Amino acid sequence: VKRSILEVAVDVPLPTVYDYLVETEEPPAPGVRVAVPFGNGRRCGVVVGHRVAAAVAGAKLRGVETILDERPLFDAEHLAFLRWAADYYHHPLGEVLGAALPVRLRRGEAALPLGEAGWRLTAAGASVDPAHQRRAPRQAAVLAQLREHLGALGHGTLTELLGACTPTLRALRAKGWVEPCRVKDPPPGVALPEEAGPELTGEQRRAVAAMMPAVAGFAAFLLEGVTGSGKTEVYLRLARAVLVQGRSVLVLVPEIALTPQLVRRFTRRLGDCVAVLHSGLADREREVAWQKARLGAARLVIGTRSAVLGPLANLGLVIVDEEHDPSFKQQDGFRYSARDLAVVRARRARGGRGCPVVLGSATPSLESLHNAGAGRFVHLQLHRRPGAVMPTLALLDIRDQPLEGGMSRVLLQALEQTLAAGDQGLVFLNRRGFAPVLACYDCGWLSDCPRCDARQTLHATSGLLWCHHCGAQRRAPVRCPQCGAHDLHPLGQGTQRLEETLAGRFPGVPLIRIDRDATRRKGSLERLLNVARAGNAALLVGTQMLAKGHHLPRVTLVGVVDVDGGLFGADFRAAERMAQLLIQVAGRAGRGDATGRVLIQTRYPDHPLLRTLVQGGYPAFAAAALAERAAAQLPPFAFQALFRAEATKPDDPRAFLEGVAALTIELRVPEVEAWGPVPAPMERKAGRYRAHLLLQSRGRPPLHSLLRRLLPAVRALAGSRRVRWSLDVDPVELL
Ligand SMILES: [Zn+2]
Ligand SMILES: [Zn+2]
């Protein structure tokens, strides 16, 4: 028996790795989980290295309690990548490794045995379409789950997903559709389905041809393709080529629920080697997918943000779809950008030889366009939309216009014509609820949130006042809480109110509202979209949920009710977000055989960026916006790190950040400027006061070397215990 000293990263918000003693023949390798005593408790940690015993001789070390894995869960390349990420974002390694693990493994539970007893589809069962089993919904559900999971599932996972289902399984077995089995990994070399897919357009062919030679090493591509130009087809060809070579593929998407079409296409075309990894999965399901990716049984992983931290055996290609989407940035805890890490992961893949990464979007982020301009990314474009024309954009000046429920006469008439032609109209407003505020006309009372510097939104169907920032709810009062008058009025527009106005104006026309409230129940989004796809004349009302990749072939007119909020947002990225959202919404129009029209209501028809967007499209807008950023020395022409602090006492966050600012001055790094501290744009949120300190530099290295020296001193600051604070490297939101 040998005594060894292990370096263990423990999942706690502290920046150190800890030494523990272990007495075994063979000490556990890096990447193995161990249970260790920590403080007065017990924690799960990951071995990240071994120490030479002499270096810590004499120190009193505690022993490892249990070695949890026989083999490492992280291989050397994966571990090195996560170490890099922890270092870059200045975040504790233990928490980064924790974020990369499925929940059960993170808690220290034993890994699920992959050879678990379970059930699989027989050949007869595989040919049954669950959708046709209406009269036996339980059986249909079991069949659908088995199909989704490569034809086989463990008994435990099935029960977790569907509840107890032994009688259902017995019935299915009697029909000869399922049989018991041990759930094993499919062999790594599963054959790809034959289907070749549609013929490529000239542009698609050129894009594929430009990328194909790069599959041997690292290369970054920005694939800018207008909505409907067929970026997915390009992804599929590339993925297929990489899979054929026996390597694996990672596809990152903003939100699985909003991109079911993309997921379905990958699954249909590339078949059994696809695993989907996202937070909507049950814990066990997620762990199985994670393990399959680690063992190389799932060779194409489609996932949201956190999938970039997961294991991938023999990585050969990374794709980030809708790369501009802000949801790729984690907004709490370990605040990483999945898009940026995707590029790093591709560069470090295959022992440093690298693999290609493709960032795709109809509206690329200014960061990525800047990287393309500087030659770091290869810029490929798809301008044409096969079989359809791009929609036309026009501004509607609504100054001095009478509005009906926020909509001008011109917009309402255009909707009427669209309906008369048997087409569909889409009315876009990025604000759910009935009205953003309830007001008393007698005394001026407003429905302020008691916990935030914000108003509570009125939700008419539930009769609630609801704060969209902290979630606080209360019954909407009938009389003014301040003066008792009955003169309460909703002010402004939300999607529920638009729906009500349109229902009054166009009686008998089917109305489909799509926002978070209308799609809370599982499957409801798909159901609403199917109604829209199947129907004839109809009106759709929705928030940005409608802007994502849904195909709505019957929509020929899009009305944007209010674009002005995006022109003057507190965040310097507000205009970029507004433009991206507008172009994405516009992309819904005219995807079938009809040309689309987009009418944008504004009180600022002369706003330069808005005019540029409408006249020159997104590329012209992006060029103008980048020039503005360069002139103002803002990202991507500068690098930022944001300290946020919050506390229940109003003065504490500011006092703490003043201490941080003083420390940065002491460190004397002239390339880095410190702005603040200032109150956050919404100073009070959920009952806590918040302040910001922004550090900015022309270059990355001075900023990061400053942070490295600064953080130990910040942790030791006297006020650091009175506030909750965090550091956000490359913040994408300054709110
Ligand atoms: Zn009142
Ligand atoms: Zn609130």
Q: Note the pLDDT tens digit of each residue in 87-108.
A: 999 999 999 999 999 999 999 9
Kindly give the distance from the C-alpha atom of residue 466 to the centroid of ligand 2, in angstroms, as a whole number: 8
665 C-alpha to ligand 2 centroid (Å): 35
User: What would the two tokens of residue 1 be?
Assistant: 């028996």
CA distances from 658 to 198, 335, 415, 718 (A): 60, 23, 54, 12
Indicate if the pLDDT at residue 460 is higher than 90. no
C-alpha of residue 439 to centroid of ligand 1, in Å:
8
Return d(Cα 663, Cα 718) in angstroms, integer: 12
Higher pLDDT, 667 or 271: 667
| Ligand number, closest to the Cα atom of 444 | 1
pLDDT of residue 127: 83
CA of 452 to the centre of ligand 2 (A): 4
Nearest ligand for residue 455 CA: 2
pLDDT band for 593, please (50, 70, 90 cuts).
low
Ligand nearest to the Cα of 465, by number: 2
Ligand nearest to the CA of 487: 1
Confidence of residue 564 (pLDDT cuts 50, 70, 90): confident
Q: How far is the CA of 42 from the centre of ligand 2 (A)?
A: 36
The ligand that comes nearest to the alpha carbon of residue 477 is 1
According to DSSP H, which parts of 229-275 are helical? 231-244, 260-270
Q: What b/e string do you get for 622-659 counting C-beta neighbours within 10 Å, with b at 16 or more?
A: bebbbeebeeeeebbebbbbbbbbbbeeeebbbbbbeb
Q: How far is the CA of 498 from the centre of ligand 1 (A)?
A: 26
Which residues on neighbouring strands pair with residue 624, listed in sequence order?
A: none
Average pLDDT over residues 630-642: 95
The region of weakest confidence among 138-152, 199-213, 364-378, 649-663 is 138-152
- What is the residue-averaged pLDDT of the chain? 89
The C-alpha atoms of residue 271 and residue 191 are separated, in whole angstroms, by: 9
* Angle (CA) 228 526 254, round 5°: 55
H/E element, 211? helix 202-211
Cis amide bond preceding 677, omega within 30? yes
Instruction: Compute the distance from residue 374 Cα to the ligand 2 centre, in Å.
Output: 43
- 564 Cα–ligand 1 center, Å: 29
Q: What b/e string do you get for 138-148 counting C-beta neighbours within 10 Å, with b at 16 or more?
A: bbbbbbebbbe
Rounded Cα gap, residues 529 and 507, in angstroms? 21
d(CA 119, CA 17): 43
**CA-only gyration radius of the chain, Å:** 28
pLDDT of the residue at 35: 96
Q: Which numbered ligand comes closest to the C-alpha of 486?
A: 1
Q: What is the pLDDT of residues 506-536, one digit of tens each?
A: 998 999 998 888 888 877 888 888 888 877 7
Peptide bond into 636 cis (omega under 30): yes
Measured in Å, residue 466 CA sits from the centre of ligand 1 at: 19
Ligand closest in space to the Cα of 467: 2
Find the mean pLDDT for residues 247-269.
84
Q: What is the DSSP letter of 329?
A: B
269: amino acid identity, one letter:
R
Which of 683, 711, 684 shows the shortest CA–CA distance to 695? 711
> Which of the given ranges, 136-145, 274-283, 350-359, has the highest pLDDT on average?
350-359
Which residues face 642 on adjacent strands? 694, 728
Ligand 1 center to 483 CA (angstroms):
4
Arithmetic mean of pLDDT, 116-133: 82
Please determine, for residue 54, whether its predicted confidence score (pLDDT) is greater than 70.
Answer: no
Q: Specify the pLDDT at position 194.
A: 67
What distance in Å separates the CA atoms of residue 704 and residue 336, rounded to the nearest whole number? 15
CA of 458 to the centre of ligand 1 (A): 17
Please report, rounded to a whole number, the percentage of residues in the chain having pLDDT higher than 90: 57
Q: Which helix (H) or strand (E) holds 23?
A: strand 18-24
Identify which ligand lies nearest to the alpha carbon of 469: 2
CA of 464 to the centre of ligand 1 (A): 18
- On whether the CB atoms of residues 238 and 213 are closer than 8 A, the answer is no
Q: Find, among 690, 696, 688, the residue nearest to 636 by Cα.
A: 696
**Residues 165-193: pLDDT tens digits?**
889 999 999 999 998 876 665 444 456 66
Measured from the alpha carbon of residue 482, the closest ligand is 1
Please state the pTM of the whole predicted model. Answer: 0.86
Nearest ligand, CA of residue 450?
2
Q: Are strands 538-542 and 511-514 parallel, antiparallel or unpaired?
A: parallel
Is a pLDDT exceeding 80 seen at residue 133? yes
Percent of the chain clearing pLDDT 70 (strictly above): 95
Report the pLDDT value the prediction gives residue 188, as an integer from 0 to 100. Answer: 43
> How far is the C-alpha of 583 from the C-alpha of 229, rounded, in Å?
14
Please tell me the least confidently modeled range out of 54-63, 209-218, 249-258, 577-586.
54-63
Ligand nearest to the backbone CA of 688: 2
Give the number of the ligand closest to the Cα of residue 453: 2
Q: Which residues pair with 19 in a beta bridge?
A: 7
What is the predicted pLDDT for the residue at 187? 43
Q: Which burial class, exposed, middle or buried, applies to 345 when counting CB atoms under 10 A from its CB (0-12, 13-18, 19+)?
A: buried
Q: Which ligand is nearest to the CA of 457?
A: 2
* Predicted local confidence at residue 354, as pLDDT: 94
Which DSSP string do the residues of 572-600 spell out, in sequence order? TTHHHHHHHHHHHHHTTTT-SSS--EEEE
- Tell me, in angstroms, the distance from the centre of ligand 1 to residue 459's CA: 20
Q: How far apart are CA 596 and CA 54, in angstroms?
A: 74
Query: Which residues, chain by chain, have CB under 5 Å from ion ligand 1?
Result: 440, 442-443, 445, 480, 482-483, 485
Cα of 731 vs centre of ligand 2, distance in Å, is: 23
DSSP H or E stretch at residue 85: helix 76-88
Q: What per-residue confidence (pLDDT) applies to 725? A: 95
What is the three-class DSSP state of 668?
coil
Decide which of 194 and 674 is more confident: 674
Element (H, E) at 137: helix 137-148
Close Cβ partners of 111 (under 8 Å, ≥ 6 residues apart): 69, 73, 105, 287, 291
Distance 90 CA to ligand 2 centre (A): 30
Tens digits of residue pLDDT in 680-724: 988 999 999 999 999 999 999 999 999 999 999 999 987 778 899
Please answer whether residues 419 and 509 qualify as being in contact, where contact means their C-beta atoms are separated by less than 8 angstroms. yes
Spacing, Cα 454 to ligand 2 middle (Å): 6
| 429 CA from centroid of ligand 2 (Å) | 21
Say what the pLDDT of residue 186 is: 46
| pLDDT tens profile 414-447 | 999 999 998 999 999 988 899 999 999 999 999 9
pLDDT at residue 109 tops 80: yes
> Exposed, middle or buried: residue 478 (CB in 10 Å: 0-12, 13-18, 19+)?
exposed
| Distance (Å) from CA 684 to ligand 2 centroid | 9
State the amino acid at position 201 in one-letter form: T
CA of 538 to the centre of ligand 2 (A): 35
Closest by CA position to 51, among listed 36, 61, 39: 61
Q: 435: CA distance to ligand 1 center in Å?
A: 18
Query: Ligand 1: distance of its center to the CA of 444 in Å?
Result: 6
For 12: left if phi > 0, alpha if psi spans -120 to 50, otherwise beta; the answer is beta
